[in-house]
Amino acid sequence: MAGSPIVKTEETAQGRKSLKVQQTKKALIEAMQKNLGVVSAACQAVGVDRSTFYLYSKTDPEFAQSVKDVEEYALDFVESQAYKQIKEGNTSMIIFYLKTKGKRRGYIERQEVEHSGGIAVEQITGMEVK
C-alpha cells in the first residue's frame, strides 16, 4: 500500500487550503490595484478581514512586495493627477507642489517664534531619596 487514506486526505486538504490562500492573495492584490492601495476597500471587496491582509504581508515576502508595487503605482497615479491640476492652473496644487518639491529653492513656509522675557534656570545640586 502506498500510504494511508488519512494521510492523503490531510495532504489534499492542505493543498486546497494553500490554493485558496494563493487565490485570496491574488484577489487582494487585484483589489488593491482597483482601489489605489486602500487596504480596507480591498479587503472588503475580497471578503477578508484586515488582519488577514496584514498577516499575509508579514509572512509572505512576495505578497508584501506586490503590495509595495501597488502603493508605488497609486503614488504615481496621484502624482500624474497633481501634474494635470498644475497644468490647468490650480493655484492650490501649484503652492502644494512648490512647498514639497521646491524647498531647496526657497519655497518653504517658515514660522518665526519671538520670545520676550527671561528663562528661569535652576540648578539641582542634590537629590534626596526616601
Structural domain spans, the chain? 5-105
* Residues in CB range of 29: below 8 A, 6 or more apart: 63, 66, 67, 70
Which ranges of the chain have pLDDT less than 70?
Answer: 1-15, 111, 126-130
Longest dimension (CA), the chain: 93
Total-model pTM: 0.64
What residue has cell string 520670545? 115
| Per-residue pLDDT reduced to its tens digit, 32-46 | 999 999 999 999 999
pLDDT at 9: 57
pLDDT at 101: 87
pLDDT at 114: 81
What residue has cell string 509595495? 68
